[in-house]
Structure 1
Amino acid sequence: MSAPAPTATVPATNQAAVASTGLSKRFRHQLAVDGIDLAVPDGSVYGFLGPNGSGKTTTIRMLLGLIRPTAGVAYLLGRPMPEGGAAVLPRVGSLVEGPAFHPYLSGRRNLARLDAADPHADRRTAKKRIDAALDRVGLLPAATKTFRAYSLGMRQRLAIAAALLQPRDLLILDEPTNGLDPQGTREVRHLVADLAGDGATILISSHLLSEVEQICSHVGVMHAGHLLAQGTIEELRGRTAPTVKIKTNEAEQATKIMIKLGIEDAAIGSPGHADHDHQLVTGTLGAVPAESIMPALVSDGVSVYGFAVDSPSLEDVFVELTGEGFDVSA
């Protein structure tokens, strides 16, 4: 009998809970994911950001071993997938492409069936763990309702509860706030923060820029199958220079001074960007120190009624990376 093949692992120095090298997936003539190198640091909340159809779900399915990549390799918790699935998946909770449960069973009984199918679950603690998972997502009062009576948001939360039936080192959540009202979205946000505080690494796929900015420590930007950039939110924002905004009634003079300082794109804003008495002058800060602008304006006799430096948002970063807006209507 031949010896088993050695098991490859990600070097410990990578400290990556999720990693990939050249990960690609082709469906006939469509290259859905094109050679991406993911690096999700251990203990991070990683926002996998991109419009619908950008390749996020396909990537997640490859990470979990649900489909095989056309090229490249993926790792979860240091083990290659899908080869290491038996060893690593019990430590991973996931929600992929929306919840699917038995419609005529209650939320509690649906979780009980899932738990009973898990060979690693302790039957003696099943009821306690199921109720704890339901309580954590705010569904304990609705535990006896049938799944078909649940709203879309309740179904989404039940799927998250299913991922929490066992302690998890890694949670992979594909669009976890889909269908949730603002209150439900806030609850998921707080839940993610609690889980991260417990030491879990969380990868969240989302097309909602505002949600990623509020709950994630790291971001990877997907577009048309490509991973365009990844890093901490601060690192990604640092790719785009802040915008300086000045409110004045001497806009032309202020614009000339800003251009002289090195803010070459300084320009007077369109009417309505300030109040009736003042105009707004804007420009990209770039390498010009923000603290040098006010003294230059004042020394030339320009009256300044408002001064602000706006840091770039993730939407600004996305526009710079792709050259197009972030369409969340799909």
Structure 2
Amino acid sequence: MTKVFGSQSAVDGLDMRVPTGSVYGFLGPNGSGKTTTIRMLLGLVTPTAGDHDVLGHHMPDGLTTALHRVGSLIEGPAFHAHLSGLANLRRLDAADARSDAATSEQRIDSALDRVGLKPAANKRFRAYSLGMKQRLAIAAALLAPRDLLVLDEPTNGLDPQGTREVRHLVGSLAADGITVLISSHLLAEIQQICSHIGVMRAGRLVAQGSIEELRSTQTAQLTVHTPDPGPAADVLTRHGLDQVRVDGEIVTAAPGDVLPEDISAALARAGVRLRRFAIDRPSLEDLYVSLTGEGFEVRG
């Protein structure tokens, strides 16, 4: 898909694939095209070029059928501040032409229970914490059965407690088989909850796949701290490790396919004394920076 606003290309030739049953983290710097992409997926914005399917339905022809199985939270929750959480959900459910009035109270009660808001159901929305507001928005998205949940920055502005609340909720939804597409800037959230990621940069999807698959494309580094750096470097070179470097008492190398246990055994046989032996795999942040050239906000 491509979306152009005036002379600016917001999304350029995007080919996005979200596996069924996955939690897909949609990453990228501000202005990289994430929200525009989500809006196109949900039929809120018309692509300038290209097409797409949602839940097997070609868009925009299948818009009505597909979106009935999609729940979403885009750019923060919007409810009537003077109404309770329960009253807000009743209004939303009544506005859905496909909802069954006979089961409305049961479904609303189930949605509130799912997000842990039953005790606060009669509390006015304006008195909710940010985390409660986000959870109410997710409850609204779950009033009907969903196969896909799309969350745009669901932890934006939340304190650590609110962030944990939303994280646990998303995890429970994924465990029940709902596919979740979640846009976030928070590394801790993506690492803890997502199985797959897609990375945007300047309107282009520069990488996508499972987190482990993408991390495996980055070169690992072996680090040896030893008072015997010369012999250690000789051992690593003899065993076919690349990029062997010595810096004082620290020896580094790229282990390649050589097993860590074989390397440590060879060092021991050579009498090399070890203070530290580690193979460091590139983190998700390392991957993100290598793809976008920008840092990643990290928050616990």
For the aligned residues, what is the CA RMSD? Answer: 2.1
Task: Report matched runs for 1:36-115 at 5 Å.
Answer: 36-115=14-93
User: Does structure 1 residue 143 correspond to structure 2 residue 112?
Assistant: no
Q: Distance in 1 between matches of 2:280 and 2:34?
A: 30
Q: 2:29 corresponds to which letter in structure 1? A: P
- Partners in 1 of 2:257 and 2:295 — Cα distance? 27
Are 1:64 and 1:82, in contact at CA under 8 Å, matched by a contact in 2? no
Secondary structure, in 3 states, of the residue corresponding to 1:328? Answer: coil
Report the counterpart of residue 254 of structure 1 in structure 2.
232
Separation in 2, partners of 1:327, 1:219: 14
- Structure 1 runs, 4 residues or longer, greater than 4 Å off: none
What CA distance in whole angstroms lies between the structure 2 residues aligned with 1:113 and 1:289? 60
- Aligned-partner Cα distance in 1 for 2:70–2:210: 23
Q: Secondary structure at the match of 2:168?
A: helix
SS at match of 1:187: helix
Counterparts in 2 of 1:77 and 1:45: CA distance versus 1, 3 Å:
same
- In structure 2, the partner of 1:321 is 291
Question: Quick check: 2:285–2:296 contact (8 Å CA) kept in 1?
Answer: no
Corresponding residue SS for 2:163: helix
TM-score of the superposed pair, with normalisation by structure 2? 0.91
- Which residue matches 1:194? 172
- Provide the rounded CA distance (Å) in 1 between the counterparts of 2:178 and 2:185: 22
Deviates more, 1:255-264 or 1:122-131: 255-264
Q: In the aligned structure 1, how far is the partner of 2:243 from the partner of 2:151?
A: 43
Q: Matched residues in 1 for 2:235 and 2:294: separation?
A: 31
| Cα contact 1:94–1:171 (8 A) shared by 2 | yes
Whole-angstrom distance in 1 between the partners of 2:122 and 2:229: 65
Q: What percent of counterpart residues are identical?
A: 61
Question: How does 1:84-233 map onto structure 2 within 5 Å?
Answer: 84-233=62-211
**In the alignment, structure 1 residue 294 sits paired with structure 2 residue 273:** no
Name the SS of the counterpart of 1:297 in structure 2: helix
Letter matched to residue 284 of structure 2: L
- The match for 1:264 among 213, 235, 243 is 243
Q: Distance in 2 between matches of 1:80 and 1:288?
A: 47
Change in 2 beyond 3 A, CA 1:280/1:160 = farther
Identify unmatched segments of 5+ residues in structure 2: none
The TM-score, its normalising length taken from structure 1, stands at 0.83
Counterpart CA distance in 2 for 1:179 and 1:161 is 19
> What is the deviation of 1:265?
5.1
What amino acid is aligned across from residue 326 of structure 1 in structure 2? G
The CA deviation at 1:49 is 1.7
